Amino acid sequence: MTLLPRLVDADMLEDQPISGTEYMVLVHLSEVPDNQMRMSELAKLCGLSLSGMTRVVNRLESQSLVVREKAPDDGRAWLARLTSAGWTQLKQAWPTNLASVRRHVFSRMDGCDIAAAAEALERIAPR
């Protein structure tokens, strides 16, 4: 299960200034209201520890793709928010990510029922 993320990371870094993991952080932030989320929730969605997520957000923050803000309802919690530069980078990186997933996953599923495979993966995916 770790091979695919490594392959996508390598493809992303070949063509983009962000890794596959960083791309997924931007994707998750783009899909929520106000484009912001608690760091702990973002870490869980990305399958990272909180310290791992902090390192990823630090890299994204250094590129001005996200900003970190204190949660207004909890002074101990931090939010990560997608910036306009982050949106731009997400749009630029999308074709690279799509091509990588097509090459490493879908091109190898010739003759396979993709809908059935997706259903099986949904059953075993952690929630």
Judge whether residue 31 has pLDDT over 90.
yes
Fold of 3-124: Arc Repressor Mutant, subunit A (1.10.10)
CA distances from 114 to 4, 17, 105, 125 (A): 17, 31, 10, 16
Record the pTM: 0.85
Mean pLDDT of 43-60: 96
Judge whether residue 123 has pLDDT over 90.
no
Tokens for 15?
A: 């063509």
Instruction: Grade residue 125 by pLDDT with cuts at 50, 70 and 90.
Output: confident
Q: Are 108 and 4 in contact (CB under 8 A)?
A: no
Judge whether residue 91 has pLDDT over 90.
yes
What is the phi-psi region of residue 34: left when phi exceeds 0, alpha when psi lies from -120 to 50, beta otherwise?
left
Instruction: Grade residue 35 by pLDDT with cuts at 50, 70 and 90.
Output: very high
Q: For the beta carbon of residue 120, count every other beta carbon within 10 angstroms.
A: 11
Q: Are 52 and 98 in contact (CB under 8 A)?
A: no
Cα–chain center distance at 62: 17
- Structural domain boundaries in the chain: 3-124
Judge whether residue 58 has pLDDT over 70.
yes
Instruction: Grade residue 105 by pLDDT with cuts at 50, 70 and 90.
Output: confident
Mean pLDDT of 41-64: 97
Dihedral sign, CA of 81, 41, 16, 106?
negative
User: Average pLDDT over the chain, rounded to whole?
Assistant: 91
CA-CA distance, 60 to 1, in Å (whole number)? 25
Instruction: Grade residue 126 by pLDDT with cuts at 50, 70 and 90.
Output: low
Phi, psi (rounded to 5 degrees) for 91 = -65, -40
Q: What is the pLDDT of residue 60?
A: 98
Q: What is the pLDDT of residue 127?
A: 57
